[in-house]
Amino acid sequence: MDSNAWDERYGASDLVWSAGPNLFLPPLVEDLKPGTALDLACGEGRNAIWLASNGWAVMAVDYSPVGIEKARRLAGDTHVQWVVGDVTTWTSEDRFDLVVIFYLHLPPDEFAAVIRSAIGMLAAGGTIFGVGHAVRNVTDGYGGPPYPEILWSEDRIEPLLAGLNVIELGERTRYVEDADATAIDVVFQAQRSG
């Protein structure tokens, strides 16, 4: 989907996803000292807003102006630096203690470029965390795009994390209540050496 398609999707409903953070995010950061965070492909901003409300200084990037405007409204008085930008080409001179990427599904070359760029924006000792629909979700799970070539797998992600301390890389399942189904995600967490 291009930015216009996402603009239409974000403009068509109050919230495309829940207002609360992704269920995997709070446990990830509970042992981290709040610092600077970057949310790439932030959508309506739920993860960025949650991080900011928990003491993080957050920059959040998405290529949908409608999504960013919704995020601004949802954030209210919670300060987040919102940026309209295409994460496949956008970069920052800033370095971040935490970079998060949730459900970003791109062709392999573009995805690899985003991950390399994200790692390049990590501060010493910084953590990168990602969640995406697993390729196995097409046959054995629920939800997500039906295109295996853009879905996540351990084999696809592992080489992109070379040189980092990989804390987690594997599948996790989550129950989707309104569909009475189980979704399969790939989750990774890695840290740059201090």
Identify the bridge partners of residue 98 per DSSP, sorted by sequence position. 37, 127
Structural fold of domain 3-191:
Rossmann fold (3.40.50)
Q: pLDDT tens for residues 18-50?
A: 568 999 999 989 999 999 999 999 999 999 999
Residue 166's pLDDT is: 98
Q: pLDDT tens for residues 113-167?
A: 999 999 999 999 999 999 999 999 999 999 999 999 999 999 999 999 999 999 9
The confidence band for 194, taking pLDDT boundaries of 50, 70 and 90, is: confident
Positive or negative CA dihedral for 6, 109, 49, 83? negative
Output phi, psi for 6, to 5 deg.
Answer: -70, -35
pTM, 2 dp: 0.90
Hey, where are the domains in the chain?
A: 3-191
User: Residues with Cβ < 8 Å from 100, sequence gap 6 or more?
Assistant: 25, 37, 38, 39, 40, 47, 51, 128, 129, 130
Output phi, psi for 105, to 5 deg.
Answer: -120, 115
